[in-house]
Amino acid sequence: SSYEIFFASLLAIFVCVCVGLLVLSWLSVQELERAEADVNTHSYMGILKIVSGTSFTSTLQNSSSADFKVLAFDVEKLMFLYVIFASQYLKNNLPLPREPAVVVILTLYFTQMVTVEKIKHELVLGVIANNPNPTKALKIDVNSIQITGNIMRLPYCCAVIALIFIIPAECLPPAELCADGATCISEEFFCDGVLNCPDGSDESEKRCAAVCDGKFMLTGSSGFFHSMNYPKPYNENIVCQWIIVVPQGLSIKLNFTSFETQPYADELSIFEGLGQNKVLRASLSGTNLETIYIFSHEATAQFMSDYSENYNGFNATYTAFNASELNNYEKINCTFEDGFCFWIQDLDDDSDWERVQGPTFPLMSGPEFDHTFGNFSGFYISTPIGLGFVEEQVRILSLPLVPSDMYCLSFWYFMYGDNVYRLRVSISDEHGQERIVFEKEGNYGNNWNYGQVTLNETSDFKVIFDAFKRRGPSDIAVDDTGLTKGKCNEDNYVEPTVRPTAATTPLVPTDCGGPVELWEPNSTFSSANFPNNYPNLASCVWYLNAENGKNIQLHFQVFDLENIYDVVEIRDGRGPDSLLLGVYTEKGPLPDVFSTTSQMTVILRTDRSATRKGFLANFTSGYHLRPCSADKHQCGSGKCIPLHNLCDNIPQCEDGSDEAKCMRLLSGSLSTEGLVQARVGRTWHLACADDWSGEIADSVCQLLGLGDANMSSAVLFTGDGPFVTITKGGNHLIFTKREHCWDNLVVHLQCNIQSCGKRLVTENNGTRIVGGNDARREAWPWIVSLHFNFQPVCGASLVRDEWLVTAAHCVYGRQLKPSRWRAALGLYSQADLAQPPTVVLNIDRIIINPHYMRETKDSDIALMHLQHKVQCTDYIQPICLPEKDQQFSPGINCSIAGWGSIRNEGPSSDILQEAEVPLLSNEKCQQWMPKYNITANMLCAGYDMGGIDSCQGDSGGPLTFEDGDKWFLVGVTSFGEKCALPQRPGVYARVTMFVDWIKTIIY
């Protein structure tokens, strides 16, 4: 058939083309092989500039990228030269009037000497001849073509050959250039012990040698390193890093002949492994002579000092050892006098066991001395000491033990105090299955108690110690772990007696028997034990349900909770997509709460301290609360009003929503300019130019939150309308419908939006909030110190002359009485609250983002309204809000500032502190913070080695970035794991995700 003939012809043509390409390739290879014998090849270096048709992007630094290959092909075609190889060379620091040029370096090879003038002339002719219409293709500036002369001799004897390099003489941040001049790698890959540059220059001793002792790569089976100037005091603000590599199959033992650094500030961090996958195993500071074991043949050590109090430092030695030669007794037996012995901290728990000497702090739980010596000189291990603001689980594991007939595991434990919780010992088999073999809960007295367990395992296993700590003083300690062969002697073992704890509240379930599902008519519910006091540490959930199409009205008959610390949270709907309706505390009465869906969630949370009577509530449902029909507007209370009542200057909604958003600007190229439209009922009307005035223009811009009018003009409009005339009537605007405008003229308005993101001080000294120097007085004019009941508790950012952005967790449970809040603007020192240029203003309104989830810390952002507008000065300026699609890439340095703690659980700073921290990808952050869910609404910033971070008291403060000549609010300080720990970055609310929500409220 004709189809068969057609396809057969296509196949024949395809085969011919393939054969032709193979022959051409073979001839080219033969020509190159013949060229190798010729030593008379001459080469020249040239440079040219591409001024249009392409622009510089980071993908052009990758010779494997499609963008690079396309550009190399186009340059080859344009020069009409035979291109043999394309590698990298691009530079974007030669600015042109409109866009940066792409600069290309090329190398030309000839079989005989050619003058540079001849080469340049031929290249210019070739570019002109091959690009007759430069406006439609790649354009090379022929005046930029330069030939730098003969640079090398290579064994080629071809006609004219070009070697185009696209080598990044300057890499895009945060990348840096390798010594080969051709490869860009991220700056964090330098000096990390892993070769990333092709020439290995990222790990060169010259570049990476520690300023402390001139060493970097330690590769022997033993060696040493020490702090700067040892045994004399080290310098301030130094960072030193060493890479330790011993023969594969061996492990590393670290000892210290001397150790003295500033406690909690100047730390030596020991990591297992190298590069980006290294894992923190120990952070040492103070006077610490413990032995560290790393069960890998590779380790990284990092030392960082801050700006103050330089001590004599340390001298460390390391030796290689074979962990497989350890017996079971060596793996378990430990007095903790020289460290954790061979016990390993679990990286996936909430925190770490701490090695302690003497009494714990605070003195309401935990031992006064160890068990081994029974005095202040000995060591033991304890759950994290401190005030304990969160519940925590800590875990240590043994190395794998070899099974035998029987072993007796023994240890001493200390569990004292009314608030102490649980100690558990488990066995983990070779498959990771765990079995509890010992568990104690409660108060066992102010003394050490003996514990023992007989082990009879048939396969490799590990021993695990878990301690569970409640909020508040609840330390648990362990000492003198041991292993002996044979069954434990039960005759000598006396079981300790748990001491009863005085009950401050009735013994009722802390979950209130829930979660509870409620439907009408069973619509009345209460807190546990009502009308008697509810329990401490309660977390109770009620789900209220109505029929589809109905909504819920919740009413509290009685409400009495401990102020701030015990709260009732009400959400519209249920689950992660539910929206926050309110957070209530203290005493009622409370207003009724309305849902917009057929479900409502009620949550009671109480702390460990005082309790109250609780609450009694009921709910009803009805069709009158369903979403309004299309011809009606729904008020915040659920009430429906006709659309023709919108924007009629007669408020009918309690929340005023029917008289809000009555003006807009249409079709402008910017959000601050466009044709003026007014809403009358359900329809938007164009504003006629007749009777328009500058006073009306100012009023419209102010209603839109865009400052005053910058310029208004009458423009011709020949469309159908509808139209409206706007006039002033007292404190409001009056809209009068019109069929036509005089002369068909409508109003185009440009508003002068408030200036933002400007500051007097441009330099940043790079100090840290945790242990850092003072900021300059005028450095951060948008930062605000928030005071609740006259005590500084959080930070905030000024984003308009009457609006602040802060963290939702700062105001959670404290938002019902805004009058208890004060905002200090222009503040530098907390001691200068009453001194100019500080301005202290009251708060009259607090709005928590409805998506905020306290459990997950997601959407941790809130708005606070100043009772009076603040007058901007050199010390008080708003920061710019980013556009919702504005990108802040991982690796860029952002600034943080605040008056928070200068170390974890330490004192707050009186003087404003500042720091720079690099942004991290959410993937890297999730890897470093595995126990949290890092969502798209969050971003992270911090250093691999820690040392610089926001801390307690900085919450709600700004994470900022300077783009051009303006500063933008990138993040709101949300949470972290302690402060400034290695691989524990600060987490911030990502402002770009909330810009639309913020603008709908403040404008």
pLDDT beyond 80 at 209 = yes
pLDDT beyond 90 at 1 = no
The H or E element spanning position 786 is: strand 783-788
User: How far is residue 378's CA from residue 370's CA, in Å, rounded to a whole number?
Assistant: 5
CA atoms 988, 992, 994, 998: torsion sign: positive
Q: Is 226 part of the annotated catalytic residue set?
A: no
pLDDT beyond 90 at 219 = yes
Q: Is 371 part of the annotated catalytic residue set?
A: no
User: How far is residue 441's CA from residue 602's CA, in Å, rounded to a whole number?
Assistant: 31
Catalytic residue among 365, 699, 955, 974: 955
Show me where the domains of the chain are located: 34-170, 209-325, 329-492, 516-535+558-625, 661-752, 783-1002
Q: What is the average per-residue pLDDT within 595-622?
A: 90
Poorest-pLDDT segment among 154-168, 426-440, 810-824: 154-168
The pLDDT value given to residue 388: 66
Q: Is 297 part of the annotated catalytic residue set?
A: no
**AA identity, residue 816:** L
Query: pLDDT for 394-418, tens place per residue?
Result: 999 999 999 988 999 999 999 988 8
**pTM above threshold 0.75:** no
Cis peptide before 531 (omega within 30 of 0): yes
The pLDDT value given to residue 799: 94
Torsion angles phi and psi, residue 699, rounded to 5: -65, -40
The pLDDT value given to residue 23: 74
pLDDT band of residue 938 (cuts 50, 70, 90) is: very high
Catalytic residue among 860, 944, 949, 954: 860
User: How far is residue 163's CA from residue 109's CA, in Å, rounded to a whole number?
Assistant: 8
pLDDT band of residue 902 (cuts 50, 70, 90) is: low
DSSP character at residue 871? P
**Domain 661-752 architecture:** Roll (3.10)
Chain centroid offset of residue 718 CA: 52
- What are the beta bridge partners of residue 164? 86, 106
The pLDDT value given to residue 525: 94
Catalytic residue among 685, 748, 787, 809: 809
Q: Do domains 209-325 and 783-1002 have the same CATH topology?
A: no
**Fold of domain 209-325:** Jelly Rolls (2.60.120)
Between 175 and 450, the more confident residue is 450
State in Å, rounded, how far the first CA of the chain is from the last one.
Answer: 73
pLDDT beyond 90 at 100 = no
User: How far is residue 605's CA from residue 534's CA, in Å, rounded to a whole number?
Assistant: 10
Poorest-pLDDT segment among 134-143, 454-463, 785-794, 827-836: 134-143
Query: pLDDT for 734-788, tens place per residue?
Result: 889 888 899 899 999 988 777 899 886 655 444 434 444 678 888 899 999 999 9
pLDDT beyond 50 at 166 = no
The pLDDT value given to residue 510: 67
**AA identity, residue 953:** G
783-1002: CATH superfamily: Trypsin-like serine proteases (2.40.10.10)
Between 355 and 720, the more confident residue is 355
pLDDT beyond 50 at 35 = no
**AA identity, residue 117:** E
Q: Does domain 516-535+558-625 have CATH number 2.60.120.290?
A: yes
**Domain 329-492 architecture:** Sandwich (2.60)
